[in-house]
């Protein structure tokens, strides 16, 4: 959710559960995209050094008037 959304996969090979899950996630992104795309972003953690399971990054995005704030 860094302002761009795309699916890079062979979606025509997905089973019904994956299609439903993807549809749910796309709907969520569509609800949040105006905040995400125009947000001032604040990094709440340091950037992870690797892609291991224990490394993560946390950010906060806020709309211009701070009426909506996302933590992701």
Residue 4 lies in a domain: no
Q: Domains in the chain: how many in total?
A: 1
**What pLDDT score does 4 carry?**
67
What are the CA-CA distances from residue 14 to residues 2, 21, 37 (Å)? 25, 10, 28
Domain with 43, as residue range(s), is: 11-71
Residue 40 lies in a domain: yes
pTM above threshold 0.75: no
**What pLDDT score does 27 carry?**
93
Q: List pLDDT tens digits, range 1-60.
A: 565 677 888 999 999 999 999 999 899 888 888 888 878 888 888 877 776 666 777 888
Instruction: Tell me the CB-side half-sphere exposure of residue 13, using CA atoms within 13 A.
Output: 3
Residue 37 lies in a domain: yes
Residue 47 lies in a domain: yes
Residue 59 lies in a domain: yes
């Amino acid at each position: 959710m860094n302002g761009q959304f795309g699916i890079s996969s062979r979606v025509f090979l997905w089973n019904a559960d994956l299609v439903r899950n993807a549809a749910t996630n796309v709907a969520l992104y569509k609800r949040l995209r105006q905040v995400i795309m125009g947000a001032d972003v604040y990094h709440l953690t340091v950037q992870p050094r690797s892609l291991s399971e224990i490394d993560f990054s946390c950010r906060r995005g806020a709309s211009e008037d701070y009426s909506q704030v996302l933590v992701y």
